[in-house]
Chains A and B, each alone.
Chain A
Amino acid sequence: MLEAINLTRLHIGPVNLCLADGEVVAITGPSGSGKSVLLRAIADLDPNEGQLKTQSGMRADTPAPDWRRKVAYLPAESGWWADSVGEHFKAPNQVDLASLAIAPEAMGWDVARLSSGERQRLAFLRLLELNPDVLLLDEPTAPLDAENTARFEARLKRCISAGVSVVLVTHDPVQAARIADRHFVLADGQLAEAAHV
């Protein structure tokens, strides 16, 4: 569950949004409308105003690292700080690489040799290690081909059926219709619910 009350950041907001457990909300909008800015604000990566709440409590009462473990954000471009892939995982041997069709020896690879699609899938698996309550996904399948998009969505659906709420920013209306329960459009800093998914 995730509830945003009067969330404001730069020209975005006030945004009010409420997701139930296992609910998926898709957000679309023109480039530069602030979809990523909104996700960053929910993840508390930039200064912002307003209240946020999950089943674990209010954001204001939660230390920022704990908040980000519960409300996990997958940026459009992932970041890597060590040389090898395995160093970015808490338990590299227990990651279900096969679910996203990643070679079993990938944990020993250098990050530099990963393709953009591999980076994206590994960054998603890295995030799932946190066992989050909420997933904030910023165009997660943009660098993926159709097959890998299908695998990604299948893995995401397992999370959703386990009760994880998802905010999905996407440019693909068909994907929004396929996964999301509700559909919002962000334009001129305001979030408005679209009539139908």
Chain B
Amino acid sequence: MSEYVELSYIDIALASVFLLLNGALSLWLRLGIARNLAFAMVRMVVQLLLVGLLLKSLFAIQSPWLTLLVALIMVGFAAREIWARQERRLKGWRGLAIGGTSMGASVGVVALVALIVLVQPEPWWHPRFALPLLGMIMGNAMTGVSLSLDTLHTALNREQRAIEAQLLLGADKWQAMRPFIRQAMRAGFMPSINAMAAIGVVSLPGMMTGQILSGVDPNEAVKYQLMVMFLIAGATGLAVILATLGSARALSDDRDRLRVDRLRKVKT
């Protein structure tokens, strides 16, 4: 295999030329997205440079507690992102807690199994393995959970009359909400299913491409990618199921009432 080719900052600056061209075109076409584009680009550069520095010092320090702290901060950001992507949000602390705990629990368990049983780095919590793995799994689980919760909250609010009609005929809350819980779970599963279907045929995943570019044998890169995809799809499914059931529970009460009054519509 060829050796790893190091990139200079000039190479990176040159790579951004096409994006800058996009910016110029969007100004010329008056798309109104030039500011957003510029902001997103700068944000990406700053965030990635910072995370590079952070990872470098974390690898040097090698503290399990610091690694755990960074992992928890990642969960916190993901929980906030899930919350922010919903058009109708649960009021109060539960809005953040349901997304955060369901994702933290499922991603945590899956990442632990991957580190202790599968990859087995020495020590098992080594930040060079733990944090990238966690990040990849969490990024995907976050998309699934936010889609399922957004679908659930919209459906329960829109179908209030149909759900209450079933409650009035003696259905319990789970019977009455079941079609909408299923719909929400399906929405959360779709990105994983689509990703698995398209992988290798339409898309070459970033992690695998990165490994190949840095000189790893393609067969080895494929093995790592398969493992990561299994972990991602598994963790996302668990997180989606936990979050949907948790949110449906929070939107009903022990007298089998539908409690859409606990939702708050966000002004868009």
Measured CB to CB, the residues of A under 8 A from B are 43-47, 63-66, 68-69, 72-73, 75, 77-81, 88, 123, 126-127, 129-130
Contact = CB atoms under 8 A, between A and B. Distances in A.
Contacts of A79: 160-166
A45 B257 contact: yes
A44 B252 CA distance: 13
Interface stretch (B53-61, B92-100, B143-151, B167-175): B167-175
A66 B160 CA distance: 20
Max count, chain B CB within 10 A of own CB: residue among A47, A73, A81: A81
A130 B170 contact: yes
A73 B168 contact: yes
Contact of A127 (B159, B166, B169, B253): B169
B81 interface: no
B255 A64 contact: yes
Interface in B165-223: 165-172, 179
B165 A81 contact: yes
B257 A80 contact: no
29 contacts: A43-B168, A45-B168, A45-B257, A45-B258, A46-B257, A47-B253, A47-B257, A63-B256, A64-B167, A65-B170, A65-B171, A65-B172, A66-B170, A68-B167, A68-B168, A68-B169, A73-B168, A75-B161, A79-B160, A79-B162, A79-B164, A79-B166, A80-B162, A81-B162, A81-B163, A81-B166, A81-B179, A127-B169, A129-B169
A44 B257 CA distance: 8
Contacts of A66: 170
Nearest to B179: A81
A64 B170 CA distance: 8
Nearest to B258: A45
Contacts of A63: 256
A67 to B, nearest CB: 9
Contacts of A69: 169-170
A77 B169 contact: no
A65 B160 CA distance: 17
Contacts of A44: 255, 257
A45 B169 CA distance: 12
Nearest to B255: A64
Contacts of A129: 169
Given A77-B161, A81-B162, A81-B179, A130 B257 contact: no
Contact of B169 (A46, A47, A126): A126
Interface in B249-266: 253, 255-258
A45 B256 CA distance: 8
B168 to A, nearest CB: 5
A75 B163 CA distance: 13
A43 B167 CA distance: 10
A165 B102 CA distance: 47
A59 to B, nearest CB: 9
Complex A-B, nearest 5 residue pairs according to Cβ-Cβ distance, in ascending order: A79-B165, A79-B161, A81-B162, A64-B256, A69-B170
B250 to A, nearest CB: 14
A127 B170 CA distance: 10
Nearest to A66: B170
A80 B160 CA distance: 10
B168 A72 contact: yes
B170 A68 contact: yes
A45 B258 CA distance: 8
